[in-house]
């Protein structure tokens, strides 16, 4: 039974603001620049889920992508899509919603929903030009 | 002297919320669905500016795209990028920031900044799958 | 009340074969080349629906894209997605499923489902490099 | 017999420099900026050919895209691909190879190669963000 | 002599159907859903070949991409493009043509055609949103 | 403190020619084909910079992408954009500007500009279909 990587791409639209409540306006402005706009700004986030596992010889699937897509919809998109990450998503109540932190939060949520037999990696595009990947390796 | 169309693509990231302040929560929810989230959501907007005019035989340019790009940066991106359209952009104080209305607002701003010799058309992508064009024709 | 164009992009995956049952194998091979493979081949079709109409001043929408998307799903995607155009779609029982003819069939179906107040145009990508548009103009 | 638009996308890679030999270095620098680099720079040009005509009811094709693609390869790509537009393409010996002028040159070449029954329009992407269209309308 | 990775992207269009001949219609329907349509459906597959090897200091190439592209054309595209994977490609006579299995079949074919000095990895896009990679690592 | 990968995409337009001055025209033609055009050709290069490092728990950033983007602009784009790689970039005075060598040159420049705490990998697209990655692994 061979190992293979399977990818599923989804997207969500959300507002966010980068800042630390315990910092002064000046410090937030200095560190986060225009991303610190008090009234929020937003993105069309593109999310790529990578799973590594063995192919099921009965079906030729590693995982049914319909099943994976439903898990992402239920546990990520419902929570993030058309939301304000700072105000609507409890995980970011005390955590700055940078692309890095959003990717880690998504990883932690999906890690609990997916069978342990699958290795998991998240790639998150905040814009076409800025994106992150977590964890760094799943080999 | 021949007429030609020249296009310049730019983008901006913004938060917005679709609703009418004079409607009840129920009616806003019914009409605007998840786009009515009180705490805003956001998009990476892609903006394509189309200008039609005559080629300058001295340069082979219809317009210097550096000049066009600077006008867009100064009058549109400064106003819209990393902003909350409802709260930060005066044009939407009383106007619902649908893709349709954003395109018309951008058209009206740029129309005043661009010489009358150029015909102008705006294409605005709210997502890769939802986009609008205004005006309908510039022939 | 201003006119504006609104676009919605959808996609479907389908198999097809180009041939005329009343032609010889040789003639079909000569005219349709590898697209005439007896056992079918297939595409990920990208479909862009363009509607032109007046903005509703109450909502700022020309049309609720959720409504448009549901109409496309119900009347086009259910009929075409994961189907064999030649064998599963009655409109192509006697009609060669070229990109040109598929676009016209989609236009005719949607024209009946959409209110007459909207002008309608179809763009259909068979591949990233080959695509068609129907009708030629809706001005 | 219905009219339809058919598109074919091709690409070529070429070097060019924007300048006028009868201008001083200073004036060329002022007008064309970094595009005036003496040693040339280059682009991956994307070319979209649009043809409008009637569908052949025998085949369901407006034009066999293989035929169109062969004409583009023979008369455009052979002439432009992996070439220096200023030095290798006679049409630009006295003509500044701006995107506008390249589009018009391509139009004039293809107009002679294509049957008069097809209306022709050229879209040329110099970069993903800068592109032109000629002629403005073929209605 | 340094190691580097070189990539070449190609595409092919094919029809397929997911099912097991030894299963009942009900079981095939349950497991493969709409991908089990008896009359086949199809895709525009995007194929990315990754080779890892040492740069030839004489040329600055790791491999001449023209040579790699010709090998892919001869041994993969001729076999898969505009074909029905289930009926026209012997490798899938007994093997379900899932994206996973197609990637492994392509890997096995190219592995035999390419010199052993190159490490080889396949990425195959069935749609823009569903894709696979094999083998999982070539480090 | 967790490790994460952060990516930034930039682009530049440049002319180049592939050849070795110590080879005959015939040998250059044989090995480099149309890429050996004496008068140069050009590309829109897409450049993806990948950095791996630990997230700063104070900011939620691994690196401020504005800082990374400024380093790329200052040390790569100023040197490469709208330039002739063979004639204008000293690193290629004796080195053939293949995609492989350009990626290594960019890596070596950025490696000196970036703090040692970040692991660095370069992906360079010469065209949408031909691209390279260096080094092969940064695990």
Q: Are E79 and E134 in contact (CB under 8 A)?
A: no
Number of structural domains, chain E? Answer: 1
Chains C and A touch (3+ CB pairs under 8 A): no
pLDDT digits (tens, 9 = 90+) for D23-51: 999 999 999 999 999 999 999 999 999 99
Task: Please list every residue in chain E whose beta carbon sits closer than 8 Å to the beta carbon of residue A8.
Answer: 129-130
Q: Which chains touch C (3 or more CB pairs under 8 A)?
A: B, D, E
| pLDDT for A51 | 98
| pLDDT for A2 | 85
User: What is the distance between the terminal CA atoms of chain B, rounded to a whole angstrom?
Assistant: 17
- Whether E126 is a known active-site residue: answer yes
Which residue of A4, A8, A9 is in closest CB contact with E136? A4
pLDDT digits (tens, 9 = 90+) for E74-130: 999 999 999 999 999 999 999 999 999 999 999 999 999 999 999 999 999 999 999
Does position B74 have pLDDT exceeding 90, yes or no? yes
Does position A67 have pLDDT exceeding 90, yes or no? yes
Instruction: Find, in chain B, the residue whose alpha carbon is nearest to that of C56.
Output: B100
Chains E and A touch (3+ CB pairs under 8 A): yes
Query: Sorting pLDDT into bands at 50, 70 and 90, what band is B2?
Result: confident
Q: Which chains touch B (3 or more CB pairs under 8 A)?
A: A, C, D
Report yes or no on B139 lying in a domain: no
Catalytic entry in D10, D35, D46, D75:
D35
Which residue of E32, E100, E137 is in closest CB contact with A62? E100
pLDDT digits (tens, 9 = 90+) for D43-72: 999 999 999 999 999 999 999 999 999 999
pLDDT digits (tens, 9 = 90+) for F71-88: 999 999 999 999 999 999
Q: What percent of chain B has pLDDT over 70?
A: 99
pLDDT digits (tens, 9 = 90+) for F25-57: 999 999 999 999 999 999 999 999 999 999 999
Report yes or no on F139 lying in a domain: no
Report yes or no on A119 lying in a domain: yes
**Sheet strands (E) in chain B:** 3-16, 41-54, 83-84, 119-125, 130-134
Query: Sorting pLDDT into bands at 50, 70 and 90, what band is A1?
Result: low
Q: Is E103 on the interface with A (CB under 8 A)?
A: yes
CA B126 centroid distance within chain: 10
Across chain C, what does the average pLDDT equal? 96
Q: What is the pTM of this model?
A: 0.96
How far apart, in whole angstroms, are the C-alpha atoms of residue C132 and residue C43?
15
Catalytic entry in D11, D41, D74, D82:
D82
Contact check, Cβ <8 Å, B104/C6: no
Contact check, Cβ <8 Å, E7/F132: yes
Q: Is F128 on the interface with D (CB under 8 A)?
A: yes
Report yes or no on F74 lying in a domain: yes
pLDDT digits (tens, 9 = 90+) for E1-12: 689 999 999 999
Domain that holds residue D41: 3-134
Does position B62 have pLDDT exceeding 80, yes or no? yes
What value of ipTM does the predicted structure carry?
0.95
Report yes or no on A139 lying in a domain: no
Catalytic entry in E10, E29, E35, E91:
E35
Average pLDDT (C96-117) is: 97
Contact check, Cβ <8 Å, A40/B84: yes
Residues 6+ apart with CB under 8 A from A45: A11, A12, A13, A14, A80, A102, A124, A125, A126
Q: Which residues pair with B122 in a beta bridge?
A: B49, B134
Does position A120 have pLDDT exceeding 90, yes or no? yes
C61-69: long-range contacts (C-beta < 8 A, 24 or more apart)?
C61/B98, C61/B100, C62/B100, C62/B132, C62/C4, C62/C6, C63/C6, C63/C118, C64/B31, C65/B130, C65/C6, C65/C8, C66/B33, C68/C6, C68/C8, C69/C8, C69/C10
Contact check, Cβ <8 Å, E65/F130: yes
Contact check, Cβ <8 Å, E83/C43: no
Does position A91 have pLDDT exceeding 70, yes or no? yes
Q: Are B10 and B76 in contact (CB under 8 A)?
A: yes
Chain A nearest CA to E136, separation (Å) = 5
Query: Sorting pLDDT into bands at 50, 70 and 90, what band is B1?
Result: low
Task: Please list every residue in chain C whose beta carbon sits closer than 8 Å to the beta carbon of residue D5.
Answer: 132-134, 136
| pLDDT for B111 | 98
pLDDT digits (tens, 9 = 90+) for A19-39: 999 999 999 999 999 999 999
Secondary structure (DSSP) of chain C: --EEEEEEEEEEEEEE----TTS-HHHHHHHHGGGG-TT-EEEEEEEEEEEEEE--TTTS-SS-HHHHHHHHIIIIIHHHTTEEHHHH-GGGSSS---HHHHHHHHHHHHHHHS-TTSEEEEEEESSSSEEEEESS---
Does position C1 have pLDDT exceeding 90, yes or no? no
Report yes or no on E80 lying in a domain: yes
Across chain F, what does the average pLDDT equal? 96
Report yes or no on D98 lying in a domain: yes
Contact check, Cβ <8 Å, A96/F2: no
Q: Is E131 on the interface with A (CB under 8 A)?
A: yes
Average pLDDT (A103-121) is: 98
Does position E35 have pLDDT exceeding 90, yes or no? yes
| pLDDT for E2 | 85
Task: Please list every residue in chain B whose beta carbon sits closer than 8 Å to the beta carbon of residue D98.
Answer: 59-61
Structure tokens at F114: 């970036």
pLDDT digits (tens, 9 = 90+) for C29-40: 999 999 999 999
Catalytic entry in B10, B29, B35, B91:
B35
Report yes or no on B119 lying in a domain: yes
Q: Is B81 on the interface with A (CB under 8 A)?
A: yes
Across chain D, what does the average pLDDT equal? 96
The three-point CA angle F119-F120-F123 to 5° equals 150
Task: Please list every residue in chain C whose beta carbon sits closer than 8 Å to the beta carbon of residue B100.
Answer: 4, 6, 55, 60-62
Which residue of F15, F34, F128 is in closest CB contact with D41? F15
Q: Is B67 on the interface with D (CB under 8 A)?
A: no
| pLDDT for F16 | 97
Quick check: bond before E135 cis, omega within 30? yes
Q: Is F42 on the interface with D (CB under 8 A)?
A: yes
Contact check, Cβ <8 Å, C8/B95: no
Q: What is the CATH number of the domain that holds B81?
A: 3.30.479.10
Q: Is E67 on the interface with F (CB under 8 A)?
A: no
Does position C17 have pLDDT exceeding 90, yes or no? yes
Query: Sorting pLDDT into bands at 50, 70 and 90, what band is B29?
Result: very high
Across chain A, what does the average pLDDT equal? 96
How far apart, in whole angstroms, are the C-alpha atoms of residue B53 and residue B114?
12
pLDDT digits (tens, 9 = 90+) for A34-66: 999 999 999 999 999 999 999 999 999 999 999
Across chain B, what does the average pLDDT equal? 96
Helix orientation angle between E65-72 and E99-113, rounded to the nearest 10 degrees: 120
Q: Is D3 on the interface with C (CB under 8 A)?
A: yes
Q: Which helix (H) or strand (E) holds B96?
A: none
- Whether B126 is a known active-site residue: answer yes
């Amino acid at each position: 039974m061979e190992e293979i990587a399977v990818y599923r791409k989804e997207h969500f639209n959300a507002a966010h603001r980068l800042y630390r409540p315990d910092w002064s306006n000046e410090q937030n402005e200095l560190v986060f620049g225009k991303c610190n706009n008090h009234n929020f700004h937003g993105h069309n986030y593109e999310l790529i889920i990578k799973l590594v596992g063995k192919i099921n010889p009965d079906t030729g699937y590693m995982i049914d992508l319909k099943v994976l897509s439903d898990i992402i919809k239920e546990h990520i998109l419902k929570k993030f899509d058309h939301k304000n990450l700072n105000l609507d998503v409890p995980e970011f109540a005390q955590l700055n919603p940078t692309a890095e932190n959003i990717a880690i939060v998504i990883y932690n949520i999906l890690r609990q929903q997916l069978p342990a037999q699958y290795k998991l990696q998240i790639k998150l595009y905040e814009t076409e030009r800025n994106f992150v990947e977590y964890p760094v390796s799943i080999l």
